[in-house]
Structures are given as C-alpha cells and as structure tokens.
C-alpha cells in the first residue's frame, strides 16, 4: 500500500475552566448509556445565535476517571451545503467506531453545527466552528473537561478544521485567535479551492460549480482572492503533480506558503487513494507545504478507498491510526 508519512499530529483545542455555574435547561443527559458507548450525552446545546437561527452542538462524555477529560471537537462534511452534526446518525460510518474508540480511551467528543453555504458564504463556516470552540472553552468546568482539546473533521469539515488550525494564532483572521489548539485531524478534506486546482482536475467541474462555488459565492476563476483565502495551500500558477514528482523536475517554490504561517499545530491527514471528489495530490501537497514550513504533519493514503472511506477491513486501520495519533499528541 502506498503510504507517505510525515510527522504526527491532531487538533486539540484548549478550553479554559471558568468555575461552576447553574446548569442550563439543556444540561440534562439525553438518555441512558446507549449513544455509541458514551457515559452521558448532552444534546442540542445552543452555542450561538445567528440571523438564520440557533447553532447547536452535542457533547458525548465518557466515564470520569478522576482527572479532567480531554475533548475532541468533530466537524461534519457534506460539501458545505449539507450534512448534520449527529455523529451517531449512521453507526456503520467510520466516524462512529472512531468516536467509540476515543470514548474508550477517555476522550469526550463534541459535534457541532455550522451555517451551510445555502445561507452563508465563506468564511462564516470557520467563524461558526471557532465560536463553538470558544463556547466550550468557557464552559469546560461544567463537564469536567480538560483545557486542551483536538479538532477533527471529515470532507468539508476537514477543510474547516484545517483552516481553523492555520488561523488559530492570528486574531485578525476570521475565526482566528483561538488558544490551545494542539493538533488537527483532517479526513479527506480539500485544501486547494483555486482555479488552478480546478484546471488540473477537470473531472471535478461539476463539484466545483456546485459545492465550491456555493461556498465562495463565485467560481474560483472569477474570484481568485476569495478562493485563495479559503484554501490551505496550493500552487502559484498552473502546475503538474506528475511532473514535480519526477527526479530533477521539481520546481523551486512548488509548495508555497499560501496561508501557512509555520505556527500551525501538528496535522494528521487521512484519505483514500481512489477518492473521487478530493484529489489525493491535494493532501500530499498540503502535508508537504506544512512540513516545508516547519509544521509537524502526517499523511496516510489508504489504497483503493474512495471519498468517505466506506465500510470495510481498512476501517480498523483508519481508526487505529487516529487512536494512536490522538494518544500521542493529546
């Protein structure tokens, strides 16, 4: 199996303990111990109000072990225009066994809403996830959560947590200025929304016209600055992945620091080699961009898996890799 591994990492977000407060109406466990193995589940917590309505999160808490509980914040996919935060909606999806493993290891998991592109354009989605993290930071003592946490996202959610990881240290950027982000886990998220990436992969034209244009409010070719701002990394001008990987043909500056500062937390990137929506080249190049900027980054391609991983024998490997990464860095 082709595998290109850089250094390890996962996104942890620091939560600040604020002391005890009176429980709110929604601070009631949703039911008995039946939600994918969590000890308690606190659903429908309103973390922000927008003109489009309330944004909510669900918090899955494992049994207490006498110490503060570390938290992983999960962001769902769906092309930015669909999807739900309900992690246990499909118990056969790889997110479910991954979350179960985290709970078994003593981690809490929060799953968050964000405004979909049908009602708000980028960077609203990154701002929403950042606000969810800040809300959890301010209430960590309520559930006995540790100040340090991780961010984990799939597909569009992988894109959002990657963006948030890159702006965490810059309060001038939308969603930026978070403290205590320790690592980011990106499952098959796109990292380059530019017109160049669209040109390189013409089979993705329909995806770009629907999902990417919906997120940006324009086609990347018509708003390159907007597309660049929503990208993690990518090429300066047109490029050829097959050419730059041949010995002696690698162009200087192939991995530009488009939005990477070098201060990012460690990253773990996992993706299938047969991904039909997000080119694997993007993940490989993004990891190389991070590494060339001094950031710890690890990328794991899984032979033959499509977008979303699906259900099969490699699910265990995907979960094991996530498990090891979180326990190493959180």
Share of the chain above pLDDT 70, in %: 76
What pLDDT score does 149 carry?
82
Nearest-CA neighbor of 130 among 169, 95, 102, 87? Answer: 169
What pLDDT score does 40 carry?
87
What pLDDT score does 88 carry?
59
The residue among 204 and 85 whose pLDDT is bigger is 85
Domain ranges of the chain: 40-192+237-329
β-partners of residue 269 are 186, 299
> 219-278, pLDDT tens digit by residue?
787 888 888 888 765 543 323 333 333 333 233 333 333 568 888 889 999 999 999 999
The residue among 170 and 14 whose pLDDT is bigger is 170
Round the average pLDDT of the chain to a whole number and report it. 79
Pick the CATH number of 40-192+237-329 from 3.40.50.1820, 2.60.120.560, 3.40.50.2000, 3.50.90.10: 3.40.50.1820
- Confidence at 102, pLDDT banded by 50, 70, 90: very high
What pLDDT score does 29 carry?
43
User: Does the structure show a pLDDT above 60 at 20?
Assistant: no
What pLDDT score does 33 carry?
35
> 107-138, pLDDT tens digit by residue?
999 999 999 999 999 999 999 999 999 999 99
d(CA 301, CA 3): 5
What pLDDT score does 256 carry?
36
What pLDDT score does 80 carry?
94
What pLDDT score does 47 carry?
98
The residue among 103 and 30 whose pLDDT is bigger is 103
What pLDDT score does 5 carry?
40
- Confidence at 66, pLDDT banded by 50, 70, 90: confident
Q: What is the mean pLDDT of residues 296-317?
A: 93
User: Does the structure show a pLDDT above 80 at 188?
Assistant: yes
What pLDDT score does 163 carry?
92
């Amino acid at each position: 199996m082709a595998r290109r591994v850089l250094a390890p990492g996962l996104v942890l977000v620091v939560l600040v303990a604020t002391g005890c407060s009176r429980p709110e109406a929604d601070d009631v466990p949703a039911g008995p111990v039946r939600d994918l193995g969590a000890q308690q589940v606190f659903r429908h917590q309103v973390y922000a109000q927008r003109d489009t309505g309330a944004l909510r999160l669900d918090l899955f808490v494992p049994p207490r072990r006498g110490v503060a509980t570390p938290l992983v914040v999960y962001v769902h996919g769906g092309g930015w225009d669909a999807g739900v935060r309900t992690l246990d909606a499909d118990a056969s999806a790889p997110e479910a066994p991954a979350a179960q493993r985290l709970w078994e290891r003593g981690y809490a998991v929060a799953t968050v809403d964000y405004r979909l592109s049908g009602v708000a354009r980028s960077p609203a989605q990154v701002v929403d996830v950042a606000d969810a993290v800040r809300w959890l930071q301010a209430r960590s003592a309520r559930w006995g959560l540790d100040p340090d946490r991780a961010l984990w996202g799939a597909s569009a959610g992988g894109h959002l947590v990657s963006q948030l990881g890159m702006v965490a240290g810059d309060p001038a950027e939308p969603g930026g200025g978070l403290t205590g982000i320790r690592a980011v886990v990106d499952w098959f998220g796109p990292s380059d929304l530019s017109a160049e990436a669209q040109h390189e992969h013409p089979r993705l034209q329909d995806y770009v016209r629907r999902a990417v244009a919906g997120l940006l409010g324009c086609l990347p070719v018509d708003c390159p600055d907007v597309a660049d701002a929503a990208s993690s990394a990518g090429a300066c001008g047109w490029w050829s992945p097959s050419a730059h990987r041949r010995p002696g043909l690698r162009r200087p500056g192939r991995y530009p620091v488009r939005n990477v500062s070098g201060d990012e937390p460690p990253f773990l990137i996992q993706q299938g080699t047969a991904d039909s929506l997000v080119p694997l080249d993007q993940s490989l190049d993004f990891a190389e961009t991070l590494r060339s900027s001094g950031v710890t980054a690890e990328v794991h391609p899984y032979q033959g898996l499509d977008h979303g991983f699906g259900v099969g024998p490699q699910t265990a490997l995907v979960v094991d890799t996530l498990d090891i990464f979180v326990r190493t860095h959180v």
